[in-house]
Structure 1
Amino acid sequence: MTLKLIYPALAQILWTFIVLGIVFVRRRRAFLDKAVSPADVAVSTERYPEPARLAAANYTNQFEAPVLFFALIMVAMEVGAVGTLMAVLAWLFVLSRVVHTFVHVGSNRLHLRAIVFGLGIACLVCMWISILTTML
């Protein structure tokens, strides 16, 4: 049933909106605290305080590896690779993106962030392999 894969895809989209909300809140806080003025960030966002820049960087990340995720979801649905394993891998990928965000906008411990990112990529590779084995 393809709905198994629609739910994690929708969850990833929701998470992207949530991260955008974090960016908005942090940028608004920067203006309210007078850490930046509109003129400071009219051309470049480099002058925002670090918490706002981290949130914006994470928002950008939501359009990198997740692009592969959405492509894999669509291909899996097209070829019928929609079993439980694929659904579990999809949910694990979404979970990895959520954890990655908490690390990125929180402690920003690069080593931990890299591990979480790597686990998400491993999920994508396993999804790709699962699709290939379904097609063979």
Structure 2
Amino acid sequence: MTIKLIYPALALILWMFIVLGIVFQRRQKAFASKEVRLSDIAVSTERYPEPARLAAANFSNQFETPVIFFALIMLAMHVAAVGYIMAALAWAFVATRVVHTLIHVGSNNLKLRGSVYAVGVVILFCMWVGVVVTVL
């Protein structure tokens, strides 16, 4: 039964690698087009063009709320809070992270991006409640 929670965790890790690939691709493009030189970014990455900075910012975001997600996955597995609802919540959180990235590296619509982020936080809270209810 606990295996159900492994899949969304692995999917989010894969997504994080994909985002890192986007960062590398956009930075490489900036170098290839001569928009930036190594000396420009030796001290700070602020000189990268906006698409590269957005991708890097999103990669950094992958180490914010997803940290809570991974902790909740481990706790849920430890206390056997691994039912279908928890699995659905886990997959829903992964979906919010994918959508958040697509907005962040695309249109970067802050209102929409913030809404998706908030939905992800609510999902994490629901996962936390599921773990707490199981423990009690």
Q: Same fold (TM over 0.5)?
A: yes
Q: Secondary structure at the match of 1:35?
A: coil
Alignment of 1:64-103 (within 5 A): 64-103=64-103
Alignment of 1:25-64 (within 5 A): 25-64=25-64
Across the aligned residues of Structure 1 and Structure 2, the Cα RMSD in angstroms comes to: 0.4
Q: 2:9 maps to what in 1?
A: 9
Q: 1:134 maps to what in 2?
A: 134
Compute the displacement of 1:51 (Å). 0.1
Compute the displacement of 1:101 (Å). 0.1
Instruction: Number of aligned residue pairs: give it.
Output: 136
The CA distance in 1 between the partners of 2:31 and 2:128, in whole Å, is 44
- The gaps in structure 1 that reach 5 residues or longer are none
The CA distance in 2 between the partners of 1:13 and 1:5, in whole Å, is 13
- The gaps in structure 2 that reach 5 residues or longer are none
Q: Deviations over 1:18-77 (max 9, x none)?
A: 000000000000000100000000110000000000000000000110000000000000
TM-score by length of 2: 0.99
Question: After TM superposition, what 4+ stretches of structure 1 lie above 2 angstroms from structure 2?
Answer: none
- Letter of the 2:99 partner, please give it: V
- Letter of the 1:64 partner, please give it: E
TM-score by length of 1: 0.99
Compute the displacement of 1:135 (Å). 1.1
